[in-house]
Each structure stands twice: as C-alpha cells, then as structure tokens.
Structure 1
C-alpha cells in the first residue's frame, strides 16, 4: 500500500467517504483540499456498467469541454497542400507529411500532445503505429483526429477537446480543468463529459450504466459525486 503524506491525510479528514456529494459541493471540496504549489489538474473517474472485453461495449470518443482543461495542447497535423495551409491558419503548431513521419521514425521526436491527419495521409501515418499507438497519439476517426475538416479539428483541440476511453476495469479517466477554475466552470465541464458518455452508451450495455463518479485533484483524495444530480 502506498504511504500518503501529512497534507494528503489532513485533506482526507475533510471528506466523508460514505457520502456522494452534490457536484458543486464535491468540486468545491476538491479545490479546498488542493495544497500543491502548482495548479493541480481536476480529474474525474467514471465507473461504467460495461464489459470492455466485448467490442460492442467499448466506450471511446472525444468531447469539447466548454471551459477547456486549462492546459495548452501542442498539435501536429499530417496534411499536404491546401489542407496543410488550413491547419497552419487554424493554429496547428506543426504541419507536415513525409518530413514529419521521418522525424518521428528516425529521431524519435514526440514534441506534441495531439496528432491529426487527413484520411489520405493515413497510409503513411500508419507506419508510426508502433510509436504513436502505445502513447495514445495515433490519429483515430473515433476521436475526430482523422478528418478532412482539419481547421475545425485543430480549433476544437485548442479550445479544450479531450479524448476518453474506457479502461480494462470499465472506468473512464479524464481531466476537467484546474483547481484555479471557478467551481461553476468545473461543474459545467463535468456535466458536458457525463452527458457525452450517456449519449454514446453502447446498445449492448445492460443494467445500470453509470455506476459511480469520483473527482479529485492531482495530489488530493477522491470525492464521490451524486451523479444523478450532474445532469439535473
């Protein structure tokens, strides 16, 4: 069992682990318990009633949070010609084709947070699967990062688009902002994510779909949220 520091244990005393708090109350508590010297990320864990071992119960996609995540994300776009120009005008940090593929393959360069590609580039980008795949950087149509609407894709990432994917335990982990955010903005970001997860509920998922929601800061303890009130 990992040992927690004094600050963590002191913060833990403020939480009733048997109670599921109202969203605003839970997030205000998370903010109050954040004691690190940096602006901690506020994270959410959503337990879903799905069996990820079955392909028809996978939950994966992306959503634009109304208030962003508080983090500036570096975007690489694989595109040529007019689409490359569109990417640059939309604010992409790096744009290229064969040159970028070679830079990643030969130099091991990974100076970006999100990779976007036009569909015609995927034959070339596919060679990077072993490098980008394990790091979650491979462009994917399910998350909107393989598209001809390059400008829109870049703008969404810059505006606060996050990707989500259910893990082997049936849990979605995602950032919803920083502790410096107003509680209201954190609640709205949380609501947007939960509503999106409800929209993409697999038809094969039976019984209770959302089984639990917990929020925490990077260094703080988790706080249970009454998820029935998130979308109320």
Structure 2
C-alpha cells in the first residue's frame, strides 16, 4: 500500500515542475520548499553510471565544502601517547585509547566522526560491525586513519565530508543547510561535483553522470541540469 503524502508535501510538489532546473534556480526552489518545523539540510542524490559491485567502479572519497555544513561536528579520536594530547589540543570532543574502544563497544556513539591513528587500527577493527553500518568506521580513503590528527580534526569540523556511492551507484550526501543562501549552496554543490569528477572510478564507462536531484530534508526532489552544474563558473 502506497504511503499517503501529507498535505504539506503535496502542496510543495505542485511548486516543482517536471523538468530539469538550472543549478541556481533549483537551489532557490529548494529553499522555498524547506517548510518543515525544524532546520532542514540540503541534500543531493546523484545517480552515476557505475556498478559498485566491481572494485574498479567504486566511489568513496571526501569533499571539503567551502561554505561548511552548517552543523556542529562532534569528532572522536582513538590514539596513543602524545597523539592523545595532540587531539585534545586540536579540539576533539572525545579522545581515548583502549578505554574508548571499550566504551564504543558497549554502546557509546555520541560522535559524528571517528578518527584513528594507524597504530591503533588493529584494535579498532573489532568495532567494524558496530561502526560500519553507521558509516563511522575509520578508513584511509576517508581521511580518518591518519597520524596528522590535528589537521584531520580541523578539516572535519570546518566542513569536510566523507561520502560513497551505494550499491546501486547513487551518491546521497548532505551539502549544507536549507537556510544557506542559494549562492552558498551552489558553491558547496559545485565542490561536490568537481570532487566526484576528479575521483571518477577507472572502470566507469560511457556516461558518468546520469541524474542529480536536490531537496530539503522534508521537501520534494528537484532535478538539476547536470551539464548546467558542470559548466557553472564561480566567481573567484
């Protein structure tokens, strides 16, 4: 049985035409359709011409959003020795070694990003079943396994995000707040597009970009003209 749409969403869907929008027009419309009673995120849903079941068609990387995420990012760090102090001094919200691993194993999850130094990864590995489904497992590709914990903490708090294509080849990623200006959202969306192009998997053949939709968290989907986004030139 199909889920009945709320009156609010039905009214918002009537504002969205069945066509592709130029990027700035789409983002202006996204703001107009962000009418929920809580601060909504701006989300992008990008279908790529890849089949992630093949290792040479997988996409997992990070993007630094120039205008930030609009969210407070709680960073936890698992490290040893002097790296514990380095992480604390760099502003990590949660720092520890074996004791923090045990706390996470017992259910502690009050963080948004987990960074680990390479020397503790053998111990962190046992958290895989807990952290993996939540997208929190540290990885070198995601920039969360590193000895340079201070820089990693700074980047993630400033707006660095890790994302990946799901098993159907779609990237779902938050790229700001619906309260941002359309221009700031465009800067972030452009950074995301350039990152996806720069990290095109070697096995991707044919048309790489299929469709891109944006929406507020509780708003209708708005299709963005892919070529319009790729051709967008931002002022220096």
C-alpha distance in 1, partners of 2:147/2:156? 15
| Distance (Å, rounded) in 1 between the aligned partners of 2:138 and 2:200 | 23
1:40 is displaced (CA, Å) by 0.6
1:25 positional shift: 0.3
Summarize the alignment of residues 19-168 of structure 1 with structure 2, pairs less than 5 Å apart.
19-105=19-105, 107-168=106-167
**Residue in 1 that maps onto 2:173:** 174
* Number of residue-to-residue matches in the alignment: 230
Secondary structure in 2 matching 1:37: coil
Which residue of 1 is the match for residue 211 of structure 2? Answer: 212
> Could you say which residue in structure 2 is the equivalent of 1:12?
13
Please list, as runs of the form range in 1=range in 2, the aligned pairs for 1:218-229 lying within 5 A after superposition: 218-229=217-228
* Misfit runs of 4+, over 6 Å: none
1:231 CA drift (Å) = 2.9
Give the RMSD, CA atoms, in angstroms. Answer: 0.9
Q: Could you tell me how far apart the structure 2 residues matched to 1:170 and 1:131 are? A: 24
Normalised by the length of structure 2, the TM-score is 0.95
- How many angstroms does 1:37 deviate by? 1.3
What are the Cα deviations for residues 50-75 of structure 1, in whole angstroms up to 9, with x where unaligned?
01111110000111101111111111
C-alpha displacement of 1:174 = 0.2
Which consecutive unaligned segments of at least 5 residues does structure 2 have? 232-236
Question: Unaligned regions of 5+ residues in structure 1, if any?
Answer: none
TM-score normalized by structure 1? 0.97
Give me the whole-angstrom Cα distance separating, in 1, the residues matched to 2:123 and 2:149: 17
CA shift for structure 1 position 111? 1.0
